[in-house]
Amino acid sequence: MNRSIYIRRKIVNRVGMALSGAAMATGLAALAWILWTLFFNGLAAFGADFFLRSTPAPGSEGGGLANAIVGSLMMVGFATLVSTPIGILAGIYLAEFGTHSKFASLTRFLTDIMLSAPSIVIGLFVYAIAVATVNQFSGWAGSLALSLIAVPIVVRTTENMLKLVPGSLREAAFALGAPRWKVSLAVTLRAVRGGIITGVLLAVARIFGETAPLLFTSLNNQFFSTDMSKPIANLPVVIYNFALSPYEDWQRLAWGGAALIALIVLGINISARVLFRSKLPT
């Protein structure tokens, strides 16, 4: 090889590595600055009142986010209960039974659309079918909107994980006389349960901080309430409202709520990647 070509390639490689390293350092620095600002302002709001008292009235001091925390946990919990079985069963169908089906191709297409659809569009859709028709905001409508966001994530994760299972594992189960449905549920699904649980947790992390769909569905409630048939408080909407308010105490609670969501999402992501790592059988 010509020595000049070798030197030129080496210089280009070093320049590319330097630019890549600079871009990575810039991104990490921006992330560190955002997290520092968030936790510096947010953790200062943590305390007994923050977790035990409801949101304060306009202009009043004190209070907390107990009603918003409970409301978010309820809506996310119900959304997870709905989206998990639907997403897993749909993923099993696409990976195991619908390889060459037109219906499966249509389902994949719709799943891709839902994955890329803005959350505010899903919120408006649920508003039109579940809020405007009954003239009532509710926690159930909020859970429905969050479910529609979580389902395609679980579907895609389940399908992709099942496709990684070696064909020899299925053939061995078939050779023992197991029917196809039992092979899908007891063999292939069990082989990738760690990856599927990871997908479910990542879907939960995604929907926990969604604000736009809840503005059109569950709205908000200043008081502590567990009635899902009526407007219910939730962390994202409370943070949105309090951050725009002129009251310093409300702004402090907004920082605290944002830090709490960041900690929850960070904890879910770390748990998903550490606790449920598993190797596929070979």
Confidence at 277, pLDDT banded by 50, 70, 90: low
- Range in 50-64, 126-140, 210-224, 235-249 with the lowest mean pLDDT: 50-64
pLDDT higher than 70, residue 246 = yes
pLDDT(241) > 60: yes
Statement: residue 280 has pLDDT above 50 = no
Percent of the chain at pLDDT above 70?
97
159 vs 276, which has greater pLDDT?
159
Q: Chain-wide mean pLDDT for the chain? A: 90
Q: Is 86 exposed, middle or buried (0-12, 13-18, 19+ CB in 10 A)?
A: middle
CA angle 48, 54, 55 (to 5 degrees): 110
pLDDT for the residue numbered 80: 95
Whole-angstrom Cα distance, residue 35 to residue 183?
Answer: 45
Buried residues in 242-257 as b, exposed as e (16+ CB within 10 A): beeeeeebbbbbbbbb
Residue type, position 191, single letter: A
The answer, yes or no, to whether residue 109 has pLDDT greater than 60, is: yes
Q: Taking residues 10-37, what's their average pLDDT? A: 93
Looking at residue 89, its pLDDT comes to 93
Report the alpha-carbon distance of residue 109 to residue 267 in Å, rounded. Answer: 32
Q: Could you tell me the pLDDT band of residue 276, with boundaries at 50, 70 and 90?
A: low
Using CA atoms, how far apart are residues 56 and 34, in angstroms rounded to an integer?
27
